[in-house]
Amino acid sequence: MGLIEKYRPQKFCEFRGNDTLISNLKSMLMKKDRYHSYLISGGFGIGKTSLARLIAKALNCVNFDGNDICGECKGCHAIDNNYDIIEIDAATYRGINEIRRIKEFANIRPLEISNKVIIFDEAHQLTEEAISALLKIVEEPPSFTYFIFVTTEKNKIKPTLLSRLYIIELQFPTSKVIRDFVNYVCEQEGIPVPEDITFPSFRDFLKSLEGSGTGEVIKNYNLNRILQYFIDGNLEQFNQEVQFILDTGIHPRTFFVNFIDHFLDKLKLYPLKIDNNFIQILLDLYGKNEFFNDKATFIRIFNLLFWYYKLSGYDTNLTRTII
């Protein structure tokens, strides 16, 4: 078993971060008139698929009390090897013919548990034809069928589908939440806790740990250090760091999203002078798949953001205290 699966939360009490959201979700799942269709959106590696599986468990756990699932009954274990709970890669199975078969499956009563659950991963990849075919059953599903759509790109979900879903927007966990997780895993694995290293998500840390192959955590990227290079105008060092990160296999989208989130979060400490329209253009840019296939373009966008930052009149002496 890989570390990502080993440390995947099996109960709500093990899910880290987004405490208020999780509390509200559990209360809603206890209601008789609960939603049958959900959308879970958020960044990479912060628990979207894990939460989808927890919802599937809660919908079938015979002992779910609104606080947590039992983790012992047939309903809780059904997520692992049961015909009635399926996960679909929408990037692959997104055509009209596949959706017809899924609809047929959704209308058949479950064999061993209370409710069928159909999880669509990468839901933004569904074709327009597929979404059109799903609309009616998502809006009026059988009483025993539930749909969960998981995506990193909520903005690409068609409004006609979005309006029919209970929306769960996961936020990136705080640095303390991630640090507590890092400490816990390192204690369980009997390895030293890495110092002065920032991991933007749970998955990034676990992949880093798996990639070392020696029981030692490999060097991960330090967002604070990279941001300081950016702010100081040390573009040569900044570009080298970014290039190193990409060359180690970190997906450009993962790094870009986390860096921008980190950058904007730090800027909140001061009155923003960057035009909101520019920020929106930047955020839209990293939502385009073709942008991430070109490392040179990727780095040029950061250079553009740097110069915009400089030209906006920030006092660079003040920004040294951001980190």
User: Domain check: are 91 and 73 in the same one?
Assistant: yes
Is residue 159 pLDDT above 70, yes or no?
yes
- Per-residue pLDDT tens digits for 285-310: 545 544 445 555 556 566 656 555 55
User: Domain check: are 271 and 207 in the same one?
Assistant: yes
User: Domain check: are 227 and 300 in the same one?
Assistant: yes
User: Domain check: are 157 and 18 in the same one?
Assistant: yes
User: Domain check: are 115 and 199 in the same one?
Assistant: no
Closest CA to 131 of 153, 87, 98: 98
pLDDT, residue 103, reads 92
Question: Looking at 147, 169, 191, which one is the last position of a domain?
Answer: 169
Strands (E), the chain: 37-41, 85-89, 116-121, 145-151, 166-169
Question: Looking at 126, 150, 169, which one is the last position of a domain?
Answer: 169
User: Domain check: are 33 and 155 in the same one?
Assistant: yes
CA dist., res. 81 & res. 23, Å (int): 27
- Per-residue pLDDT tens digits for 17-61: 999 999 999 999 999 889 999 999 988 888 999 999 999 999 999
User: Domain check: are 150 and 226 in the same one?
Assistant: no
User: Domain check: are 220 and 278 in the same one?
Assistant: yes
**What SS3 state is found at 309?**
helix
Please, which residues bridge with residue 150 across strands? 40
Quickly count: other Cβ atoms within 10 Å of residue 104's Cβ.
9
CA dist., res. 38 & res. 168, Å (int): 7
User: Domain check: are 312 and 225 in the same one?
Assistant: yes
Q: Is 313 exposed, middle or buried (0-12, 13-18, 19+ CB in 10 A)?
A: exposed
User: Domain check: are 29 and 68 in the same one?
Assistant: yes
User: Domain check: are 158 and 194 in the same one?
Assistant: no
Question: Looking at 144, 169, 194, which one is the last position of a domain?
Answer: 169
CATH number at residue 139: 3.40.50.300
CA dist., res. 295 & res. 287, Å (int): 15
User: Domain check: are 119 and 40 in the same one?
Assistant: yes
Q: Are the CB atoms for 181 and 8 separated by under 8 Å?
A: no
- Per-residue pLDDT tens digits for 245-285: 666 566 665 666 667 666 666 655 443 344 445 445 555 55
Structural domains of the chain, count: 2
User: Range of 275's domain?
Assistant: 175-319
- Per-residue pLDDT tens digits for 63-83: 999 999 999 999 999 888 778
